[in-house]
Every structure is written in C-alpha cells, then in structure tokens.
Structure 1
C-alpha cells in the first residue's frame, strides 16, 4: 500500500465541475486503495443542486458540512443544516438543492466503490419528480 493511496489532499482529488456544482472525489477506485467506498465533497452554489436521480446499485449518505440543503428522499422533503444526514438506500430516488444564496457544502459517501450498472440514473424529467418542486 503506497502513501499516495492512503492520504489524499484536495489537490490530489479528482475535481469535477458537474451541472452547477463542483465535486471533489476524495476516495473511489482509481484514486484510493478502496474497493468499497466512494467519498465526494460537493460545493453547491446558491440556487443549484443535484436534481432527482437514483443510484441503482449504491447506498448513499449525504452529510451537510456547511450551509443548508433541501434534501429529497422519494417524495419526502427536509431542510438539512450542518451536521445533519440523509441515508439513501440503493435504488431510491433523491435530490439535493441549495435554496440559499451562499454556497452549501456536502459530503457524499457511497458504497460499494464500483458497480456494474450505471452510476446514476436521472429521473428529473419524469413524473412525479419533475413536478415536486413546482
């Protein structure tokens, strides 16, 4: 085991600008010596988010680091603040939005580290998801 795959700095993270947010992948296969985990710190600017989607084969925990997020799990909506968590089983539709003006920051922890199917499936254009925030 090499130190490069054990200790990871933000400079070594895989930075991904994706649909109005910035993801910093800190742990996942190819970045760290981990087969069972993925960890992503995401910065959501005010008014942005990650629209309704599902991870068919991955469980996810969303931990709010800073700010406030509007978290959806299926049709249930909660406002989460720093220190609060949403636990999302594999295959469950969910979404995360920043309703404020300042940046919000979350830590997403997914397991397992890899899957055979698609990582995420966007369902934001389908009912009832496309009408929930209306």
Structure 2
C-alpha cells in the first residue's frame, strides 16, 4: 500500500499536528502505527503514556527537550531516536525556532485512537492543511 500525506487525515492540537500514514484501523492487516508528528516552535505536549504500546520517536528536523519516565529531561535533535516502553510517562517540547518533525511508531498499533479524546482535538479531512497563527509567548 502506498500513501501520500494528502491521502490521510490530519490530527490537529494546540501544540502541532500528526499524520498517521499506517494504523491498524486504516490499513488492512497492519499491526503497528507509523506517522509524522509536527510540534510547533515553543510548543509541546503534556506528559502522557500509552498503556498497551511501545513508542519509538525519530527526530527528522528541529530540536527539543524529551522526558521518558522518571529520568532527567534531555535534549533531542535531528537524527536522534528515543524508545519509550509501554506505560511510561513521556513528553516532547520544541525548543527551536522552526517546526520539530518526528516520525512516531506504536507497537502494537492503536494507541493513536486515544488522542481523539484530548482537549482541543480537531481532525482535518485528507487534503486539508492546518493554518497556524503566530502567538507571542508569555
């Protein structure tokens, strides 16, 4: 199966967006989830966990801070990979001036469905693009 970014919906949040290219719910026979996460400059998501899935993050572009479990916060940048065991609290925050782009996987897939219950969640139809406005921090 071949999918382009405009073939899949976009999950939009106050901190950024996600395009899930492969999920068990959208690709027959898929057992994992694969997608691209974009975190806007100066933004990030709250600590959360995926009780039934391991997660792997691969930073494509940008720089940020990452937490995994009770360990100390650490810097991440393009080329870094982060493994997050199932049930482990974690968060990612973009510390740079450009969008942070991350490949994210869940094994087994399905953890992405819980994101629909987050406050402010919006889903854009395939081919629709999010519009961002500049907000001065503070």
Give yes or no for TM over 0.5: yes
Q: Which residue pairs with 1:71 in the alignment?
A: 66
**Regions of 4+ moved over 4 Å:** none
**Match for 2:48 among 53, 71, 74?**
53
Q: Answer yes or no: is the 8 Å Cα contact 2:68–2:84 preserved in 1.
A: yes
Number of the residue aligned with 2:8: 13
2:121 alignment counterpart? none
Counterpart of 1:25 (choices 20, 29, 38) is: 20
Structure number with higher strand proportion: 1
| 1:34 Cα deviation from its structure 2 partner | 4.0
Pick from 87, 99, 103: which aligns with 1:103?
99
Q: How far did residue 7 of structure 1 move?
A: 0.5
Number of residue pairs matched? 115
TM-score (norm 2): 0.75
Equivalent residue number for residue 3 of structure 1? none
Distance 2:16 2:83 in 1: 21
- Shift in Å at residue 40 of structure 1? 1.8
TM-score by length of 1: 0.78
Secondary structure, aligned partner of 2:114: coil
| RMSD of aligned residue pairs (Cα, Å) | 2.0
Question: Residue 46 of structure 1: SS of its match in structure 2?
Answer: coil
Gaps of 5+ in 1: 1-5, 123-134
* Larger RCO, structure (CA 8 Å, separation 6 or more): 2
